[in-house]
Structure 1
């Protein structure tokens, strides 16, 4: 009798399993989701860790862009989620001062690559140094237009995401300091 009950239970379990909907595995779900690109990839990486954020920034630079992405077209100077609150404030002052004086803003290029266009762009190395639990420095070497370039990115974690607090060029010139000088001269 007990053997017959076990056999009946096993048969019912097999029948239920055969009739139930197949479940997708996490790997199948990952394969089905489209790969993030552009700013979406940078934002997602910025919530992971500082190095992932930096690598995504430079991957975005190397993406072909014939026309601005719709998400980027809506970002105004001084309100870019890639930059820290302080850098955004300084970028905003630079933009307002340029409009006030009817001149080009100091920041008229992509400071991440110090470029307005790309040709043969390739990220070569990223060396990370933690500066505390919510700060890090990234030493970056990349090639653009056949020339090796270096940038030092000072990063801060504000909220859930890593952001750029400063960009220092290969001559030691700080974008933060240059923008701060503009802000200090601006009328109050």
Structure 2
């Protein structure tokens, strides 16, 4: 009996050892902050990475991913600074100390103190809460002077989900009225009023549009200016913001030469940045004049909306139809049908194919 018990103990010990990450918590933390130092050959890791490049736990990845989905393309999502250095900028960060405090077999807290700028006396102290997952120590939370990162991002997510839930109504025409009635508050992304298929089309259009603008970004100096900046200053993010300013500018020639991109930028403004619920910039909405049910059965509804838009000089009367479907007791928009040009979804998909494959 004793030999069998000894064998079981050895097997159990081997399993425990096999689950221990090869890098210790302190080695993991020092490796993370080394990327911010003067001698680093590579930029710091992106906080929102997933898979093999992830530095955050599954729980944190899920929270970051949801926040990303709840944010319109080109808008700043949460957090708007790098949680690891609690900063938007740094220069030759100096890690002064790392104190490891075990919690249990798979959790430890790492209290770190560092100077974001080597030539400054300003110091930051925060706690990295690490969890052992997938043979690595990953960040499950960061506690600093602004509270916990996970708590803050989860609070932002839940607030947005509650706002979206408040727009849902039992009847499809009431849901459409709520969408139009809340366009001007800017507190919710229209991408969460549409179906997964439509969101995917927006994502594909965005990728086809912005990655094809890399040459333009380099010409504007964006890549060079952000190459050494920490997350979230990867080139796609400031590029999206600057490009958004460009496509929404009344003077696009201030951003690009007259013979470059002006026409495509106008198209991007329509499909990416103009809210398709009204085919407009939200502040242009003047009035909802009428809402009619054209067709309705089971979990499907086709709603016609008559509304008006205004600018400094005039009021324009518009009409469009929204194709709705109820999924999991929630109304979502499958497509927008313009009386003259037809399906917005099909138009957007056609432009995406043309930009990727030249079809």
In structure 2, what is the Cα distance between the partners aligned to 1:156 and 1:167?
12
Q: Aligned residue for 1:160? A: 135
Counterpart of 1:50 (choices 20, 25, 28) is 25
Q: Aligned residue for 2:230? A: none
| CA deviation after TM superposition for structure 1 residue 107, in Å | 1.5
RMSD: 2.6
Structure 1 residues 93, 137: closer, same or farther in 2, change over 3 A?
Answer: same
| CA deviation after TM superposition for structure 1 residue 63, in Å | 4.9
Counterpart of 1:59 (choices 34, 46, 51) is 34
Q: Deviations over 1:137-185 (max 9, x none)?
A: 001000123111111000000020000000111x260001001112212
In structure 1, what is the Cα distance between the partners aligned to 2:146 and 2:43?
30
Counterpart of 1:186 (choices 160, 164, 173) is 160
Task: Please say if 1:135 is aligned against 2:107.
Answer: yes
In structure 2, what is the Cα distance between the partners aligned to 1:65 and 1:95?
28
Task: Please say if 1:108 is aligned against 2:83.
Answer: no
In structure 1, what is the Cα distance between the partners aligned to 2:147 and 2:56?
18
Q: Does structure 2 retain, via aligned residues, the 8 Å contact 1:78–1:87? A: no
In structure 1, what is the Cα distance between the partners aligned to 2:67 and 2:130?
21
| CA deviation after TM superposition for structure 1 residue 67, in Å | 8.2
| CA deviation after TM superposition for structure 1 residue 64, in Å | 6.1
Higher relative contact order (CA 8 A, sep 6+): 1
Q: Deviations over 1:13-70 (max 9, x none)?
A: xxxxxxxxxxxxxxxxxxxxxxxxxxxxxxxxx631111101111111225679858x
In structure 1, what is the Cα distance between the partners aligned to 2:92 and 2:47?
28
Task: Please say if 1:95 is aligned against 2:68.
Answer: yes
Q: Aligned residue for 2:57? A: 84
Unaligned runs of 5+ in 1: 1-45
| Partner-residue secondary structure (3-state), 1:138 | strand
Unaligned runs of 5+ in 2: 1-20, 166-359
State the number of aligned residues.
137
| CA deviation after TM superposition for structure 1 residue 121, in Å | 1.5
Q: Does structure 1 retain, via aligned residues, the 8 Å contact 2:111–2:126? A: yes
Detail structure 1 runs of 4+ shifted over 4 Å in the superposition.
63-69
